[in-house]
């Protein structure tokens, strides 16, 4: 007799009502403003399919994540988000490491008008969370970089659209599914740590297309994606993306949530099996190319000021640990309108920054001066470009420590007390789930409560404070390696000293400027 596999609770819940189908209930509750009447299954689970999370401490406020494929925005879209931020989100939002924007402090009543505003300008939060294909990440300079291998900007949008327009086709995956595509030579879009990562390839005969890694992901059990050793032609990329997602939907594990990500299936079955299944779904064979293994990726989000292939310029603006105000957003939208050209002329980066695109040479100086005047200087301490932070205990139910505010304080202190001429990625993360990618950072900090010996809290119990484990040694690229813990339970109030010691040691000991932090 065949064994019946027991599925986890969330699977039962999805079977009872698909997350995609919760929209009508969500809108009805928003119209009625009846938070307390929303079922626990909807409010704690299915709302995520529309980007809506309960905000800590679960007493009536929500976080909303807005999808932005490859971080590509136009001024009108950013203005609309600024308006929502000002009106509903207490005036600030966060850029995430998946190039989305997250708003906080939303009430049940706010959700409907926010959705309507987003829909009116062609944006959505559909599948921003939940067991679905999440926001696709991409190179922020896709389409404009002088030496890019392939322009992936439209492919990112096309893949995202295919997933969203499929409605219930991909709305019940075993777990979240993180896509990535990019075509720059640095492979800055982190193809190794996504469920799939298409990366740009130029062959000896001059043909351009993509290589493909499948089965990467971080969280508490990190895996690098495995190369499928295929050359994917540009015209095949959307159907291959859908086939990888369908493989996960149909073959992924649904028993234990902790083993449900695609990375576990690919690790168990291997790249050849994975590729065979993808080709079976496609109905044709992909072109084999043994040379297409791990690409030589590095950390970058192309900050600074540089020339584009069309002669215009891009101008990067670091946003301190990804948190910006509605005023910052309107300033950036206005300046992009005034000095830029092109459609998607604002890009969000995976290091939580912003880049202006398509600035004619004659406007670069005017733009940088205006940015200085509005408190968004494009040239800053190099750590400001590359220090990232997840949401942490301020709003996240899974966090064990606070991150955003400490990251801001630490950054300011390091700016005053260290000198470094290269951006090194420092990641503040509130729990092992790795939303800010501590395992691949140059210096990864993962939150952990620390007991202070001999001290008691107000209840007479051992005093616990926020602390961090410190990881070093991570590298992306051809021989990828995750960071390893080199110090445990460093008190949060001392973490700036640990970071300074590491930065100073690097600057003192490196042989030349080409010697990376790793």
Task: Tell the smallest beta-carbon distance from residue 436 to ligand SF4 (Å).
Answer: 6
Q: Cα(510)–Cα(516) distance, rounded to whole angstroms? A: 8
Please identify, using beta-carbon distances, which residue of 382 and 393 lies nearer to ligand SF4. Answer: 393
What are the DSSP calls for 157-178, one per residue? HHHHHHHHHTTTTTS--SS-B-
Helix (H) or strand (E) holding 116: helix 108-120
Residue 294 CA to residue 212 CA, distance in Å, equals 9
- CA distance readout (Å), 497 to 384, 411, 502: 17, 12, 9
Separation between Cα atoms, residue 277 and residue 265, nearest integer Å: 12
Q: How far apart are CA 147 and CA 139, in angstroms?
A: 13
- Cβ of residue 37: shortest distance to ligand SF4, in angstroms? 27
CB of 274 to ligand SF4, least distance (A): 27
Segment (H or E) for 356: strand 354-359
Residue 220 or residue 291: which is nearer to ligand SF4 going by CB?
A: 220
Residue appearing with tokens 């926001």: 135
* CB nearer to ligand SF4: pick between 177 and 210: 177
Using the minimum distance from each CB to ligand SF4, give the nearer residue, 236 or 427: 427
- Count of residues touching ligand SF4 (by CB under 6 A): 12
Closer residue to ligand SF4 (CB): 410 or 435: 435
Q: Look at residue 38 and give its three-state secondary structure.
A: coil
Burial 232-249 (b: 16+ CB within 10 A, else e): bebebbbebbbbbbbbbb
User: What is the tally of helices (H) and strands (E) in the chain?
Assistant: 13, 22
Q: What is the DSSP string of 488-512?
A: EEEEGGGHHHHHHHHHHHHHHH-SS
| Cβ nearer to ligand SF4, comparing 77 with 402 | 402
Q: Write down the least CB distance from residue 356 to ligand SF4, Å.
A: 28
Cβ closest to ligand SF4, residue 265 vs residue 390: 390
Nearest distance in Å: CB 305, ligand SF4: 31
Residue whose CB is less far from ligand SF4, 74 or 427: 427
Comparing C-alpha atoms, which of 16, 314, 276 is closest to residue 146?
A: 314
Residue partners of 320: CB distance under 8 A and separation at least 6: 384, 408, 411
Closest to ligand SF4 by CB, 93 vs 200, is: 93
Q: How far is CA 453 from the centre of its chain?
A: 37
**Cβ 111 to ligand SF4, closest distance in Å?**
21
Residues of this chain, 97-136, that bind ligand SF4 according to CB under 6 A = none
CA distances to 42, 100, 112 from 31, in Å? 16, 26, 7
Using Cβ positions, the residue closest to ligand SF4 within the complex turns out to be 430
Considering the complex, state which of residue 396 and residue 443 has its C-beta at the smaller distance from ligand SF4. 396
Least distance from ligand SF4 to the Cβ atom of residue 460, Å? 28
Considering only residues 384 through 443, tell me which ones interact with ligand SF4, judged by CB under 6 A.
Answer: 390-392, 396, 398-399, 429-431, 433-435
State yes or no: residue 162 binds ligand SF4 (CB under 6 A).
no
To ligand SF4, the closest distance from the beta carbon of 354 in angstroms equals 21
- Give the residue with the Cβ less far from ligand SF4, 319 or 390: 390
Short-list 22, 106, 100, 116, CA closest to 62: 106
The answer to whether residues 94 and 391 touch, using CB atoms and an 8 Å cutoff, is: yes
* Shortest spacing between CB 465 and ligand SF4, in angstroms: 17
Is 420 or 465 the residue whose CB approaches ligand SF4 more closely? 465
Q: Measured between alpha carbons, how far is 6 from 364 in angstroms, rounded to an integer?
A: 60
Which pair of tokens denotes residue 452? 């202070």
Q: To the nearest whole angstrom, how small is the minimum distance from the Cβ of residue 435 to ligand SF4?
A: 3
Tell the smallest beta-carbon distance from residue 469 to ligand SF4 (Å). 13
CB of 390 to ligand SF4, least distance (A): 3
Distance CA 113, CA 369 (A): 36
- Whether the CB-CB separation of 391 and 403 falls below 8 Å is answered with yes
Residues that bind ligand SF4 (CB under 6 A): 390-392, 396, 398-399, 429-431, 433-435
């Amino acid at each position: 007799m065949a064994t019946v596999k027991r599925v986890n609770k969330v699977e039962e819940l999805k079977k009872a009502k698909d997350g995609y189908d919760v929209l009508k209930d969500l809108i009805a509750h928003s119209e009625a403003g009846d938070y307390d009447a929303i079922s626990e299954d909807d409010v704690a689970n299915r709302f995520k399919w529309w980007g809506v999370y309960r905000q800590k401490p679960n007493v009536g406020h929500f976080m909303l994540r807005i999808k932005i494929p490859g971080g590509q925005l136009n001024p009108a879209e950013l203005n609309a988000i600024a308006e929502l931020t000002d009106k509903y989100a207490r005036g600030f939002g966060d850029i995430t490491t998946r190039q989305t924007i997250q708003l906080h402090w939303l009430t049940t009543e706010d959700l409907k008008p926010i959705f309507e505003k987003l829909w009116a300008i062609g944006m959505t939060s559909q599948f921003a969370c939940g067991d679905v294909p999440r926001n696709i990440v991409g190179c922020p300079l896709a389409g404009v970089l002088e030496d890019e291998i392939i322009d992936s900007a439209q492919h990112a949008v096309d893949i995202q659209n295919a997933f969203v327009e499929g409605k219930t086709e991909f709305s019940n995956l075993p777990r979240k599914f993180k896509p990535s595509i990019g075509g720059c030579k640095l492979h800055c879009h982190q193809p190794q740590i996504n469920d799939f990562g298409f990366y740009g390839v130029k062959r000896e005969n001059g043909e351009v297309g993509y290589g493909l890694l499948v089965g990467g992901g971080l969280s508490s059990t990190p895996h690098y994606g495995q190369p499928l050793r295929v050359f994917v032609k540009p015209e095949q990329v959307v159907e291959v993306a859908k086939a990888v997602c369908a493989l996960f939907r149909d073959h992924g594990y649904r028993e234990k949530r902790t083993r449900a990500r695609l990375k576990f299936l690919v690790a168990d079955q291997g790249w050849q099996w994975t590729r065979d299944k993808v080709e079976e779904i496609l109905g044709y064979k992909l072109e084999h190319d043994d040379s297409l293994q791990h690409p030589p990726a590095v950390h970058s989000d192309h900050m600074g000021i540089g020339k584009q292939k069309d002669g215009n310029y891009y101008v990067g603006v670091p946003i301190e640990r990804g948190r910006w105000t509605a005023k910052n957003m309107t300033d950036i939208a206005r300046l992009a309108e005034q000095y830029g050209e092109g459609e998607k002329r604002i890009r969000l980066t995976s290091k939580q920054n912003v880049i202006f695109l398509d600035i004619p040479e004659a406007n670069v100086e005017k733009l940088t001066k205006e940015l200085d005047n509005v408190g968004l200087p494009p040239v800053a301490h190099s750590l400001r470009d590359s220090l990232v932070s997840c949401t942490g205990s301020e709003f996240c139910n899974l966090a064990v420590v606070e991150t955003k505010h400490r990251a801001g304080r630490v950054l300011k202190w390091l700016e005053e007390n260290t000198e470094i001429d290269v951006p090194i990625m420092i990641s503040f993360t509130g729990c092992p789930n790795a939303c800010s990618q501590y395992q691949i950072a140059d210096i990864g900090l993962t939150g952990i409560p620390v007991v202070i010996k001999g001290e008691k809290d107000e209840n007479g119990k051992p005093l616990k404070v926020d602390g961090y484990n410190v990881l070093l040694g991570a590298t992306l690229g051809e021989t990828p390696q995750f960071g390893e813990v080199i110090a445990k339970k460093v008190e949060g109030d001392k973490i700036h000293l640990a970071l300074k010691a590491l930065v100073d040691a690097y600057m003192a000991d490196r042989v030349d400027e080409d010697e990376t932090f790793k």
